[in-house]
Structure 1
Amino acid sequence: MPDLIAFLTDYGTRDGFAAVCHGVAATRAPSARVLDLTHDVPPQDVRHGSVVLARVARHLPPAVYVAVVDPGVGTTRRGLALRAGTSVLVGPDNGLLPPAADVLGGVSDAYALTNTTLWLPAVDRTFHGRDVFMPVGAFLAAGGALGEVGDQVAAGSLVRLPAPGRTRTATSLTCEVTYVDHYGNVQLAGDEDDLVVLRDWAAQGWVDIEVTGPGPARAGEPGEPGAPGGVRDRARVGRAFGDVPAGELLAYLDSDRRLALAVNEGSAAARLRVRGGAVITVAAPTEA
């Protein structure tokens, strides 16, 4: 089992929650390394966390991933440990883990965390990252067998997040916002094929942009909470931020090879007033 613990949460760094989990890892698996992937996932934003986890998993060596974005903590939702390729992912059964597992080769074994002897002696209903997930992750990173964490479950029983919405017609593409990054770049549920179509539509130099749904307000994510839909704009189609002048909106393919919107030296999320879950329609221009 890998001795690298790759750690992702929405805990932030102000309150010491992540540091406490580091302490548990150091106590239970003193020879293991802990790599902080991020603790800045917007609070309770499972989809955002799943995107980051899958993005990072493509580039890491074999690891024990401990991922905690867990608005259902203390409820009947399961804790899981999943074998995927040469790595293991530990966290809640809420859709956070499967996208990264898919990147790592798919789930080959899945276990519910029912072996309570591996947990901390006193389990708080609001801090399973400290009391359940990190102790199990540390057990595995210290050489423990995956089959000892609990009962085996069917891979098909895992909770998966709904596929983000995407509809393309002859003249428009309507996509859900799947992710907003630190810079305010807006990732959409579109791909390279969609960008090729946008380039055809942009014969006049731009495509029309309309926000048709605002998405939920989430603390810590760029954009304006509760902003209404109906924002209209135009974007040029390019390959890099410098393809457009400063302050101009760009449609491009991001480093995840997903369709995205950005403002050169600015924030597309703030300009369009959107967050994750918003709906954006990109269309062939209707006027010269």
Structure 2
Amino acid sequence: MPDDRPFVSLATDFGAAYTAICAGVVHRIAPQATVLVLSDEVTPYAIAEGAMLLRQALPYLPVGVHVGIVDPGVGTPRRPVAVETGRGDVLVGPDNGLLVPAAEALGGVVRAHCLEEPEFRLPEVSTSFHGRDIFSPAAAHLARGVDIARLGPPAGDLLPLDVPAPVVRGGALTAAALYVDRFGSLILHARPDDLAAALGPLEYGTALRVTHPGGTLRATFEETYGSVTPGEPLLWVDSSGQLGLAVNQGSAAERTELRAGDTVTLRVDGKPDGDGAAGLAD
């Protein structure tokens, strides 16, 4: 960690007030630290959404201590952990898959420790606000230079993010929606190489058939939103390298009634399904 003005970031699903309390705890213990609230607007309980935010954002932030809290298992036996990465950052949060994608993006996990030592917690620990009582104090002490090993015993293997892997089969790509962004776009758990493996090289403008639990949507594979007219759907590659299903100046989530965790299947429009049946019209 840098010796002068260590950097701490916070990303939560708490909303502004509770996240500000966490920032206040960090400031009280490590008043010299620069504290950035990366986001307090992660969809409540949406672990995958929080994980993708951390993975996308942290490589662009200074090396430091990064707290991620999307923690529907708070108060249960799930473990609070600190994770040192190859770049030198330490990630702090629950062991529920939230931290793993970001750790991989920051050079991989070097070591991980459970947050068990009372010295590095608040004197009283609630059952429902570990962000205030465990995670923020640990982050502040790490920012002050405390070695990660002093926080508790080695954690061993961390739980992976619980999202189905993309499936390539029969000229089709099936992928889960990781989250819905604020524009209503569905960010998929698949990347361009998955699309190429399933459908072959695609030129921009290629018509696709998107099958989902509620029906079928026609979309084109495009480089930008503006490549289609307002109100038209498209598949594109977002700024983090994930495939996304969007509607130009509209909401793909509203159009399809899909939510995070739902799956879609992508095919080139006009080509038969794997069982030989041609796709139906909208």
TM score, norm. by length of structure 1 = 0.87
Gaps of at least 5 residues in structure 1 are 212-228
1:23-50 residue CA offsets vs partner (Å, 9 max, x unmatched): 1111100000111111111111111111
- Measure, in 1, the Cα distance between the counterparts of 2:58 and 2:170: 36
> Does residue 265 of structure 2 align to residue 263 of structure 1?
no
Quickly say closer, same or farther: Cα 1:204–1:147, change in 2 above 3 A.
Answer: closer
- Match of 1:58, SS state, is helix
**Who is 1:222 aligned against?**
none
Q: Which has the higher contact order (CA 8 A, sep 6+)?
A: 1
- 1:56-205 to structure 2, matched below 5 A, reads 56-85=57-86, 86-154=88-156, 157-196=157-196, 205=206
Question: C-alpha displacement at 1:67, in angstroms?
Answer: 1.1
Question: C-alpha displacement at 1:205, in angstroms?
Answer: 4.9
**Who is 2:273 aligned against?**
none
Letter in 1 for 2:224: A
**Who is 1:12 aligned against?**
15
1:111-138 residue CA offsets vs partner (Å, 9 max, x unmatched): 1111111111111110000001000100
- Match of 2:36, SS state, is strand
> Does residue 265 of structure 2 align to residue 281 of structure 1?
yes
Letter in 2 for 1:84: T
- Measure, in 2, the Cα distance between the counterparts of 1:69 and 1:201: 36
Contact 1:201 1:285 in 2 (8 A): no
Contact 1:5 1:64 in 2 (8 A): yes
Number of residues paired by the alignment? 267
Contact 2:10 2:68 in 1 (8 A): yes
Identical aligned residues as a percent: 40
1:146-197 residue CA offsets vs partner (Å, 9 max, x unmatched): 221111232xx21112343322234322111122211111111222134446
1:69-123 residue CA offsets vs partner (Å, 9 max, x unmatched): 1111111111101110210011111111111111111111111111111111111
- Match of 1:153, SS state, is coil
Segment drifting more, 198-207 vs 168-177: 198-207
Quickly say closer, same or farther: Cα 1:144–1:150, change in 2 above 3 A.
Answer: same
Contact 2:205 2:222 in 1 (8 A): no
**Who is 2:36 aligned against?**
35
Letter in 1 for 2:7: L
Letter in 2 for 1:8: A
- Measure, in 1, the Cα distance between the counterparts of 2:82 and 2:97: 13
Letter in 1 for 2:137: P
Gaps of at least 5 residues in structure 2 are 271-278
TM score, norm. by length of structure 2 = 0.89
- Measure, in 1, the Cα distance between the counterparts of 2:214 and 2:154: 48
- Measure, in 1, the Cα distance between the counterparts of 2:165 and 2:189: 7
